[in-house]
Chains A and B, each alone.
Chain A
Amino acid sequence: MSNTATISHDTGGKTPGAHPIVGHLVPTWLLVFVGTSLLMLTVITVAVRYIDIGEFNIVVALGVALVKATLVCLFFMHLRWDRSFNTLVFVVSVVLVLLMMAFLIMDTNQYRDTQFDGNAPNAESTLQANAPGAPVARFKPYSP
């Protein structure tokens, strides 16, 4: 922006350790603590991956991810001390993504049972009649 050589000294100057005139100063210990927690949570979630608890694997993995994300948002990204409108903006965007996901999963689930791999039934029966045992063409390479 501007050349700070012209900053007048009544702005508070450049004294190290000065307090910022805007915003909030997060204590260093808190930042390091959050960082360490994030690292530990990462180790935990990787370790859990090797333990088989069936269906709950994804729940645990995403749950830990959610905790990590919350820590990053609240402390690294300052939301804990920021205007709540900024949090609202972020939350609304996430909600919209989840809304889209919900609708799409609902939709695809409805016709999932009728989807299958392979040729259309009539084509399949013709193929089998004329060339029994021939490999089914599944993937059509892209031809521009």
Chain B
Amino acid sequence: MTTINISQPLDTAARPDNYITHTRGFMSWAFTLDHKRIGVMYLVSVLVSFFVGGVFALLVRTELLTPGQTIPGVTADVYNHFFTLHGAIMVFLVIIPSIPAALGNFIMPIMLGAKDVAFPRLNLFSYYLWIFGALFTVSSLLLGGFDTGWTFYTPYSTTTSAGGVIPALTGVFILGFSSIFTGLNFIVTVHKLRPPGMTWFRMPLFLWAIYATAIIQVLATPVLGITLLLLIVERAFNIGIFDPSMGGDPVLYQHFFWFYSHPAVYIMILPAMGIISELISVHAHRHIFGYKFIALSSIAIAIFSFLVWGHHMFISGQSPLLNTLFSLISFSVAIPSAVKVFNWMSTLYKGNIVLNTPMLYALAFLVLFTIGGLTGIHLATLNTDVHLHDTYFVVAHFHYVMMGSALIGMIGGLHHWWPKITGRMYNENLGRIGCIIVFIGFNVTFFTQFFLGSQGMPRRYYDYQPEYQIYHVISTIGSYIMASGFLLTAYYLLASLFGGRLAPANPWGGRSLEWQCASPPPFDNFATQPRVGDCYDFAAIRWDEKEQGYVVDPALDSTLNPNLAAKNSH
């Protein structure tokens, strides 16, 4: 059993070998097969991309401070490039890979008590595909940029004179394959590398979420691949498949694009939901409520996500028949998400809630996801969507779910597993302040945009009527507040690497297997197969003074002592 040997206190001088110190040098990282190192490389890459995408966001918001030109040199054309790049970078380089590739890669095998993912070389290959995809996308900036919006709608994308369209499309195509191979790897890992005793319904919910995400990644992303390929061929060779003057159909492009891109948004949110399950149960020290419901709702969301893509196309020329069908099915896709929110709230009820940074992010998620989800219903409703489509209402909605939920979940997870990944504790007070600043900034930025949108301000517009200006100014101020919150977060996290308190193996009192190896983990995670218990049974955890962290006490473990079962809250 891999409980910590508590007679041996953590000592900085005698820090055991871990995955960071195991081998040194650039080559040992560039050609690593260690999922932890690959996860860290992804994490750094994703956070750098987040910063770049954020800069573009601030440029967009700053430009919108006044109607007409605000920043010198930023014409409407340049503005189009800004929001396109913001969207493309955030969607393809940040949100989609962030949780699965960065956190999932690191945590999942350890949570499974495994030594690595199923295909370590494929894992490294996925990372290099991400790098190549990112390079192509960046190169597109140098070749004239692209101003089509991240959705690349025809006919503009096939006829625009911006020279960077094809490189950007190629970059996204490559990124798609990175996503596919990551998903493939994770499905096989979850199927084949679970330890003895960890049946499907004993897995941590984070793994259920990653698994459901991987299903979507594997099944949906190839359709994006063929869509982009067709778009490249259409642009380069004018085959005419999306061009009505040549017998094609531009709505066909939208069908193809959204067949992937709707499931893609569930790729973004599902892992974050998995993280929230972990954050809430651990930091409220309470067994998750409704485990099976949460687990199966992840799969339900994955399945339903393939049936609703047309709700992005209500005013595109799609037939009324399909409009009705998609609107109906889109209502039902809200149900599994609601099931999760109810279960999380029930978990919090009568829990021993600790308001530390991960918990604050989890609570922020609950608020922001509820708002985002409910406004999604506004958009799923056919008749209101006719008015709200392509307005700031949509922008606000998807930022609430993609940023306010998926990204917040990711940052919460980052804080939750920061001690495990880096072996350091960050400054808790700064963490709380950072979270609150981001929360306030986020709401000021995006809640305002609901008003903007419902009053008719279209999205992707450079210029606007003066009566909208006050909302834009408030929104922009919010974005600056949010940016400063993120900068503060970046600061204290980086500072912790150099001066943070050394972390114990289990600083939060978690029960899943990753808390039973050292922080940071050793090179091969576990020397022997760890024993699997109920990963939400926190009654078996107790604080250890010498360790300055939690340990799993076998005497309190109800799977070993059946008479304790009644005592454990469920």
> CB within 8 Å of B: which residues of A?
85, 92-93, 96, 99-100, 103-104, 106-108, 110-111, 117, 138-142, 144
Contact = CB atoms under 8 A, between A and B. Distances in A.
B14 interface: no
Interface string B213-255: 0000001000100000000000000100001011101011001
Contacts of A103: 255, 310, 322
19 contacts: A92-B219, A96-B306, A99-B306, A103-B310, A106-B319, A106-B322, A107-B251, A107-B310, A107-B319, A110-B319, A110-B320, A110-B322, A138-B245, A139-B245, A139-B246, A140-B243, A140-B245, A142-B238, A144-B161
A63 B6 CA distance: 68
Contacts of B318: 107
A140 B246 CA distance: 8
A67 B15 CA distance: 63
Contacts of B321: 106-107, 110
B73 interface: no
Interface in B139-178: 161
Contacts of A100: 223, 255, 259
A141 B239 CA distance: 11
B25 interface: no
Contacts of B219: 92-93, 96
Contact of A104 (B238, B247, B252, B306): B252
B562 interface: no
Given A111-B317, A140-B243, 19 more contacts: A85-B191, A92-B219, A99-B306, A99-B307, A100-B259, A103-B255, A103-B310, A104-B252, A106-B321, A107-B251, A107-B255, A107-B310, A107-B318, A107-B319, A107-B321, A108-B249, A139-B245, A140-B245, A140-B246
Nearest first, the 3 closest Cβ-Cβ pairs linking A and B are A110-B319, A142-B238, A107-B322
Contacts of A139: 245-246
A67 B306 CA distance: 28
Nearest to B259: A100
Q: Which of A96, A103, A138, A144: most chain B CB closer than 10 A? A: A103
Nearest to A83: B191
Contacts of B249: 108
Interface residues of B, number: 23
A127 B198 CA distance: 74
A99, A107, A144 — most chain B CB neighbours (10 Å):
A107
Contacts of A99: 306-307
A88 B307 CA distance: 19
A93 B246 CA distance: 31
B255 A104 contact: yes
A41 B161 CA distance: 50
Interface in B174-192: 191
Contacts of B161: 144
B48 to A, nearest CB: 34
A96 B238 CA distance: 28
Contacts of B243: 140
B186 to A, nearest CB: 14
Contacts of B252: 104, 108
Contacts of B319: 106-107, 110-111
Interface in B302-353: 306-307, 310, 317-322
A139 B240 CA distance: 10
Contacts of B255: 100, 103-104, 107
A100 B262 CA distance: 13
A110 B324 CA distance: 13
A144 B322 CA distance: 35
Question: Which of A92, A93, A104 has the most C-beta atoms of chain B within 10 angstroms of its own C-beta?
Answer: A104
Nearest to B243: A140
A115 to B, nearest CB: 8
Contacts of B251: 107
A141 to B, nearest CB: 8
A96 B309 CA distance: 13
Contacts of B259: 100
Contacts of A140: 243, 245-246
B247 to A, nearest CB: 8
A87 to B, nearest CB: 15
Nearest to A85: B191
B190 to A, nearest CB: 12
Contacts of A138: 245
Contacts of B223: 100
